[in-house]
Amino acid sequence: MRKINIAKANTELELDDSAWPANSKEYVYNYGLTQMLNDTIAGYAVIGGQVCINKKPLKDTSPSAFEAICLARVQKKIDALESGDVRAAGTRVADPIKADAIELAIEMTVRGAFKKAKKPLDAKAMRAAAIELVGRNPAYLHLAQKRADEAAAFAADLGLEDEMAALEDKTEDEDKTEDETVDDEDKTEDEMAGLEPAEDETE
């Protein structure tokens, strides 16, 4: 059962798609994914011969780089989906087990493999390799889960459950505040391409 918010009707529908035919599910999946990825670059445009994000020009860029900049932003969204870092109901929700498994894969396997192959230790490339590795080998997920269980047991032994719960609540509140002020899907992602907004020359 899925809950779908129909904003204009101020209604949340409960939808059971378990009996839908495969082609209907495929249509919805492709439509939603296409819309999601294109939404990530909704604010990107070439204005007056300059690449702009949310109407803010990026200095040291050429219109010829526009497509590459857009694709880099879309790839960042895909990477987030692959790592389980998604947004639900206005709050960023990450899978902490999978996130830890990816970090374990980087430190235990990927970094050494890159060094041995004399590849540049590029963070994005190593992360992509780690995501693929975690997808193929569940051992990293099992180890990450074990670490999480041991940490929870240790906290329980020390009577730290309340402190951990308070910390989680604080983190959720901070995420909610951030969501209310800056939406990651719409904000300028200058760091994504190593770019900075051009200074306002009208001041």
Contacts (Cβ under 8 Å, ≥6 apart) of 160: none
pLDDT tens by residue, 74-91: 998 898 888 777 665 444
Contacts (Cβ under 8 Å, ≥6 apart) of 148: 96, 97, 100
pLDDT tens by residue, 169-183: 554 444 443 343 334
Question: To which residue do tokens 């800056």 refer?
Answer: 182
For residues 110 and 115, give the distance between their C-alpha atoms in angstroms, rounded to a whole number: 9
Above pLDDT 90, what percent of the chain? 23
Contacts (Cβ under 8 Å, ≥6 apart) of 171: none
Report residue 189's pLDDT band, with 50, 70 and 90 as the boundaries.
Answer: very low
Residue 182 DSSP class: -
pLDDT tens by residue, 34-74: 998 999 899 899 988 888 888 888 877 888 889 999 999 99
Residues paired with residue 39 on neighbouring β-strands, in sequence order: none
The answer, yes or no, to whether residue 195 has pLDDT greater than 60, is no
Residue 74 identity (one-letter amino acid): V
CA-nearest of 88, 80, 78 to 176 is 88
Q: What is the pLDDT of residue 75?
A: 92
Q: How many CB atoms lie within 10 A of CB 195?
A: 19
